[in-house]
Amino acid sequence: MISYGLSVEDLADTRFAISPLSETVFSLRVLREPGLHALHLPWRRAVLGELDAADVDLLLSLVGERLVLPDFLTPRPTTFAPAFEEELALVRQTAPEHARRDLLAALVTGPVPADDAAAARFRDATCELLQRYWELAIEPVWPRMRLILEADMTYRARQLAMGGARLLFADMHPNLRWHEGVLYIAKMIARHHVPSSGLGLLLMPSVFAHKPAPPFHPDVPPSLVYPSRAVATLWTPPPAPDTTALTRLLGAPRARLLHLLGEPLPTIELARRLRVTSSAISQHLRVMHATGLVIRVRHGRQVLYRRSPLGDQLAAP
């Protein structure tokens, strides 16, 4: 078990981030163990069909015997949503001795470099390989993945606003438990307690993580990758265009929006479900609000939209 002591200062500095590099690295677990996430099997088959066999072997060698990943491949994001290339640049700056330490701790299936010079060459070659893998396997679907991750963060921020840390962690994963200022992460290979550091806790939702994943080493600043909500919708096709009279009246995008707004939803969740940008959704919502088809209310830091009575009448079957 790993546990984090979180003081008032830590909770005040708790934040969320999206890491394209972490998603890229965590997807390697799915390549190695398809049973972790059966819903990713279509993506896995497509990716393996495009990768060279040599690249597959090298990528899988980065995953430890117990699916542990070397910490240096997933550096702590310094901004909310860094670019993949920015994060990979941090990996390139990893000290060779730290890379060797993390490879040994993860019990990777490939050979561990024997000295610092070999570790530096291994680090640089791994970065080149991850760049190619990102461009082929993750970048084409990253916009859809990001919508899911942002929608999860919107939900978690609402939980935090409504019930504090206890509610924030309550339904994040069964392996997580919050008790008297300590976050306990069960079923971990490592076993250590990280006392309050004043650095805050970094939370990162993940499409590919199958359970909470803190850093393996206790001297790394507190962070937690956790499984995102709504991952099952990632590979489902978008809603079919509506062919009813409502579509002819409003147009297909606004008709689909009106049907979705039977419940209060924020812009980011609507964008995720329809697989379009948030700005496109906002443009439609402005028109629909101005014409009285939807109403909007502020809930904490969110603006939620819902059909108005007029919108209910139009959307009725």
Q: How confident is the model at residue 215 (pLDDT cuts 50, 70, 90)?
A: confident
Tell me the average pLDDT across 284-312.
Answer: 90
Q: Which of 21-25, 71-75, 105-109, 183-187 has the lowest average pLDDT? A: 105-109
CATH number of 245-315: 1.10.10.10
Predicted confidence (pLDDT) per residue in 154-168, tens digit:
999 888 888 888 899
Give the 3-state secondary structure percentages of the chain, helix then strand then coil, rounded to 5. 50, 15, 35
Strands 15-16 and 202-206: what pairing?
A: parallel
At 299 the three-state DSSP class reads strand
Tell me the average pLDDT across 234-259.
Answer: 80
Residue 240 clears pLDDT 70, i.e. is over it: no
Tell me the average pLDDT across 138-146.
Answer: 92
Can you give the pTM of this predicted structure? 0.75
Check: CB of residue 3 under 8 Å from CB of residue 184.
yes
**How many C-beta atoms lie closer than 10 Å to residue 111's C-beta?**
10
List, in order, residues 6 or more apart from 180 with CB less than 8 Å away: none
Domain coordinates of the chain in residue numbers? 2-231, 245-315
**How many C-beta atoms lie closer than 10 Å to residue 299's C-beta?**
12
Q: Which two tokens stand for residue 271?
A: 């964008």
Mean pLDDT over each residue of the chain, to the nearest integer? 90
Cα-based distances in Å from 84 to 103, 130, 205: 22, 10, 16
Tell me the average pLDDT across 85-89.
Answer: 97
Q: Which of 102-111, 145-154, 203-212 has the lowest average pLDDT? A: 102-111
